[in-house]
Amino acid sequence: MVTCFEDMLEELDSLSPDELSNKIAEVKDSCVCITCPSYDGTGEINVGFCTIGKSDLITENKGCSCGDCPVTSILSLRWGGYCMHGAAKDIFKAETESMKGELLEEACQSDEPRAEEPPNFDIDETRFDQF
Ligand code: SF4
Ligand code: SF4
């Protein structure tokens, strides 16, 4: 059972191209972006920004309905505002890179000898090329 976005990435990574396309179509069908105040009046017609990435037309944050969207729990998403910040996998990647940078900085500043190997935050960047 998928309980976090990291597990969901693994699960989606195992899908065939057709299965992945179907999954993206399911996301778009369930997306509630059209009910969102940030979406309203922008002329945007795309949906499912958590998978397709930023909108060219939505630029002003007037609130986000992602928390009310079934896709949030289906994909174990933990962010929002994907139309302005990018696809969930890209936000996740940026967050992980930032965490890795902080850990490296801490390690460089520490006088303590390193007791064990640091956690491995490597991500397979070829995942979800279709997203
Ligand atoms: S989580 Fe947000 S962007 Fe993703 S499908 Fe739902 S409303 Fe749309
Ligand atoms: S991603 Fe969030 S902020 Fe953007 S249109 Fe969809 S619900 Fe609104």
Do the domain assignments include residue 67? yes
Number of domain units in the chain: 1
| C-alpha angle 108-111-113 in degrees, rounded to nearest 5 | 90
For position 102, what pLDDT does the model report? 79
> Mind listing the pLDDT tens digit for each residue in 60-106?
999 999 999 999 999 999 999 999 999 999 999 999 888 878 788 87
Residue 1 Cα to ligand 1 midpoint, Å, equals 21
Pocket mutation for ligand 2, best pick of 51, 55, 82 (most atoms within 8 Å of C-beta): 82
Lowest-confidence segment of 4-8, 50-54, 95-99, 106-110 by average pLDDT: 106-110
Do the domain assignments include residue 130? no
- Between 46 and 123, name the one with better pLDDT: 46
Closest CA to 69 of 43, 88, 91: 88
Tell me the residue range of the domain where 54 lies: 5-109
pTM for the model: 0.79
Residue 65 Cα to ligand 1 midpoint, Å, equals 8
Pocket mutation for ligand 2, best pick of 36, 50, 68, 75 (most atoms within 8 Å of C-beta): 36
Do the domain assignments include residue 37? yes
Do the domain assignments include residue 46? yes
